[in-house]
Structure 1
Amino acid sequence: MPTIKITKTVVDKALPREKAYILFDSQITGFGLRVYPTGTKTWILEYRPNGGGRGEDKKKFTIGSVKDLTADEARRLAEKRRAEVVVGIDPQAKKAAERSALTVEQLSKHFMKNLITAKRSKNTYEGYEDAISLHILPALGSMKADKVTEIDIEKLHNRMAVTPSMANKVLAVLSSMFNYGAAMKHIASRENPAQGIEKFRETAKERYLTTEELIRLEETLTLAETAGIPWNIDEGKQSKHLPKDNRTTVISPHATAAIRLLMLTGARLREILHLEWSVVDLQSGVLRLSKSKSSNADNGKKDIILSQPAVEVIRRIKRIGRYVIASESAGTPQEKPRADIKRPWATICRHADLKEVRLHDLRHTFASHGVNGGLGIAVISKLLGHKDISTTMRYAHLENESLKLGANKIGMSVRGGQAPESV
């Protein structure tokens, strides 16, 4: 087979023919220039895999286009591929394997379906789903999972510095996903790229609503579901398309009921939004959840005790579909639980002048009022459904304040020589 040292001049002079042909290089065995009838020119390497002899069929590996690689650049790549062939690596098979390798998005689907959905709680699934869909996939979704490096993940983590809690959540999800991928042979075993990245320091945010704030909140909830909340409009910037009358926002009574139940039960948001009528036992005053993040039982069940005010809230809710807090799809075959109540909550907080209050703070408020009302940490722990009472100890300082009030009451009584009233 005739060969020639392939140079830029040779490439330029290689004209298309009726059929594709190859000009082989005289310096690297098997390296050549393939010219198509259309005029397209590519660099190729012809080789016998596994060091095969003359009897074994040759393969052709496409190195790249002449538009992207010079003759010298292509020749250096051809040398590397030939070196792989010598040690038993088939370049074509390697390239095919890389093309078929899972992307981060594909790996996340296996991870969520086979591990998180099957073996974790619904709350865990939702937290992981948020981290993946909102942060991981937009940044890394199209990358091959086994090509993701520690630098890629660290860049994503650092971009989320303003939300340290979610940044650390994303880091934990990625670490778990890569461990799963390697264990299940979805990706090659290697050091977990998310493992060595230092987490951000998180500052615990606990906000307790005062009695006055709770009164404003209830007044706003009543207004929101009846007359509606007035719009907060900048008259100097308002659009001519805005209506001149009825500038109020009426909020769904299901959304306001969800907020009231969060206040009155100390439940987690998903426990209320995913609450089904089938688990509501108003006669016993209990919500019998079948699966919960905080359940101690092996079967995943958890009971939420309802106060009389909470029972009354549920009695007033109009039953539309499967879920107590109806979503837009309520009553349809494709019914799903409501995803969130962020927008109505923001509107309500603005009107009630509640600054920097998260929905989760209603759970803290429930606990704080219970402690201040004389309930012990053990009781609060059971009402909140904490797995470990140590989690509830964050409210211990409130119990100390309650104890101080009791001690002062006793001290004043003893000092006056009178028997203390019951505390």
Structure 2
Amino acid sequence: MARVRLTTTLVDELQPPEKGQSFVWDSEVAGFAVRATASGAKAWVVQMRVRGGKERRMVIGFCHKLPLDKARQEARKVIAAADLGRDPAQERREAREVKPDTNPTLTEFAERWMEEVAGRRNRAGTIKNRRLLLKNHILPHLGEKRLGEIGRRDIEDMHHRVSQKYPVAANRAVSLCSALFATAERWGLLTENPAAKVERNTEEGRERYLTPEEIARLRTALDQSPAQDSADVVRLLLLTGARVGEVLAMRWDQTDLAAGVWSKPAATTKQNKTHRVPLSPAVVEVLAKRQQAAKTSPWVFPGREGPAHHMTTVRTFWAAVCKRAGIQAVRIHDLRHTFASLLVSSGESLPVVGALLGHTQAKTTSRYAHLLDDPLRRAAERVAAITSGGKL
């Protein structure tokens, strides 16, 4: 068949046949052509030979929607795929006929992912946060789309919209999308992760430590509080550096007051590993008083619903006690940072601090590295005093 180099002008001036269809084949890309029908429709087509010797012809797109250069580029891709043994025409037909269970909506897949993946790996608090991200930020924008329809631009648009009010939540939403799509890719439902390289908003790390004066005021406010159960929770947070969920879920059978040890079970720790924590005499004193007053509950901090439940929050108490102590802009999680900062500033090494906090990676503890400057400077000054004959 005769070939000519297709141009936009040639295609625009191409007259439709009286009946049926006609083709003008491109001399630049063998197998690429423009097809005109008697109705006046013009479309880009590609013809190829697939594995087994069969000839396939497929439409790439309509001429009034797809520019010539893009169509020619797509034709090269299709022909290359056929040369590698694939059948692009058959793949397109199968994609159009795909059933919902092999190409579910994001809403459908997210629910399955939450049950089969997150439900097995994540703690209750993490699952709750992820469901909120899905409900409030991800599914309103992408929930009705099928997995195969979602591209990187869709994720970026969602991130941009959420970022207008909640820039940090927007980053978390992208991370959750990436986790979802990574599973879909692993299960063979996607060929790539559209959220993998989406740019996030810049986040500034928050580091707030209580000063010695603030700690003194906090202790006074705790002693004066009528809610001593909640006050004891805060005391243990400050004295152990534990996470609030770990303290609230503490059981008597996890503690050995004689040996001064608390064994946090994997189910309550962020790392999903058992964490054995040595307890200071001050912590043992708090626990011993509570043990004497304990009745039948297995929990160190039983809830109001009965012996089967433990306390679940001290958020309201924390806000009240901070107001009473005159302390501002401090989250309850900052007690953990305060515990770590006191250790580092007193000269303890980062590995020791990481072990007490239950960190599994050194980089997590490295945020406190700058606090080592003061004890190191004091040590250097002592050497200077000795080498200079006692004069600095």
For normalisation by structure 2, the TM-score amounts to 0.64
1:184 partnered with 2:197: no
Structure 1 pair 393/111, CA: closer, same or farther in 2 (3 Å)?
Answer: same
**Residues 80-159 of structure 1 correspond to what in structure 2 (within 5 A)?**
97-98=99-100, 102-118=104-120, 120=121, 122=123, 126-130=125-129, 132-141=130-139, 142-146=143-147, 147-158=149-160, 159=162
Alignment check: 8 A CA contact 2:119 2:127 kept: no
Counterpart of 1:248 in structure 2 is: none
Alignment check: 8 A CA contact 1:267 1:304 kept: no
Structure 1 pair 108/98, CA: closer, same or farther in 2 (3 Å)?
Answer: closer
**In 1: Cα distance, 2:138 partner to 2:355 partner:** 41
Shift of 1:100: 9.5
Structure 1 pair 208/193, CA: closer, same or farther in 2 (3 Å)?
Answer: same
**In 2: Cα distance, 1:356 partner to 1:191 partner:** 42
Alignment check: 8 A CA contact 1:161 1:200 kept: no
Alignment check: 8 A CA contact 2:345 2:372 kept: yes
**In 2: Cα distance, 1:171 partner to 1:339 partner:** 29
Structure 1 pair 162/343, CA: closer, same or farther in 2 (3 Å)?
Answer: farther
**In 1: Cα distance, 2:220 partner to 2:113 partner:** 45
Structure 1 pair 402/90, CA: closer, same or farther in 2 (3 Å)?
Answer: closer
Structure 1 unaligned residues grouped into runs of 5+: 1-83, 227-250, 419-423
Identity within the alignment, %: 29
**In 2: Cα distance, 1:195 partner to 1:307 partner:** 45
Shift of 1:205: 0.9
Alignment partner of 1:203: what SS?
coil
Please give the per-residue CA displacement for 1:75-109, whole angstroms capped at 9, x wherever unaligned: xxxxxxxxx9xx96798x76xx4499644444333
Alignment partner of 1:323: what SS?
coil
Counterpart of 1:400 in structure 2 is: 373
Counterpart of 2:256 in structure 1 is: 281
Alignment check: 8 A CA contact 1:322 1:330 kept: no
What is the RMSD of the two structures over their aligned residues, measured on CA atoms?
Answer: 3.2
For normalisation by structure 1, the TM-score amounts to 0.60
Q: 1:262 aligns with which of 237, 249, 254?
A: 237
What amino acid is aligned across from residue 109 of structure 2 in structure 1? L
Counterpart of 1:175 in structure 2 is: 178
Counterpart of 1:223 in structure 2 is: 224
Alignment partner of 1:209: what SS?
coil
1:329 partnered with 2:305: yes
Shift of 1:153: 3.4
Alignment partner of 2:277: what SS?
strand
Please give the per-residue CA displacement for 1:134-182, whole angstroms capped at 9, x wherever unaligned: 2222334453452555444334433246654443222212211122134
Structure 2 unaligned residues grouped into runs of 5+: 1-88
Alignment check: 8 A CA contact 1:323 1:330 kept: no
Shift of 1:263: 0.7
**In 1: Cα distance, 2:370 partner to 2:95 partner:** 67
Alignment check: 8 A CA contact 1:254 1:326 kept: no
Alignment check: 8 A CA contact 2:138 2:173 kept: no
Alignment check: 8 A CA contact 2:185 2:192 kept: no
**Residues 19-34 of structure 1 correspond to what in structure 2 (within 5 A)?**
none
